[in-house]
């Protein structure tokens, strides 16, 4: 998977396989506020709590 993104994005956090078959959440962190690109198992509320910022 990591080779697929080589040179395309700045970084990947690979936490291993997802439990429950739900896709991972993908965030765009390049703007003033994080933006959800693909909603996964993590809720917007949980992301905002972890990041301490509003998530679009």
Q: Domains of the chain: which residue ranges?
A: 25-56
User: Rounded to two decimals, what is the model's pTM?
Assistant: 0.64
Residue 1, pLDDT > 60, answer no
Separation of alpha carbons 49 and 56, rounded Å:
13
pLDDT at 2: 59
5-47 per-position pLDDT tens digit: 777 778 777 777 767 777 788 899 999 999 999 998 889 999 9
pLDDT at 46: 94
How far is it between the farthest Cα atoms of the chain?
32
CB burial of 9-46 (b: ≥16 within 10 Å; e: otherwise) equals eeeeeeeeeeeeeeeebebeeeeeebeeeeeeeeeeee
Separation of alpha carbons 30 and 16, rounded Å:
24
């Amino acid at each position: 998977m990591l080779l697929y993104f080589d040179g395309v994005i700045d970084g990947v956090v690979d936490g291993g396989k997802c439990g429950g078959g739900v896709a991972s959440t993908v965030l765009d962190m390049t703007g003033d506020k994080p933006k959800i690109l693909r909603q996964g198992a993590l809720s917007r509320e949980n992301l905002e709590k972890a990041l301490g910022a509003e998530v679009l």
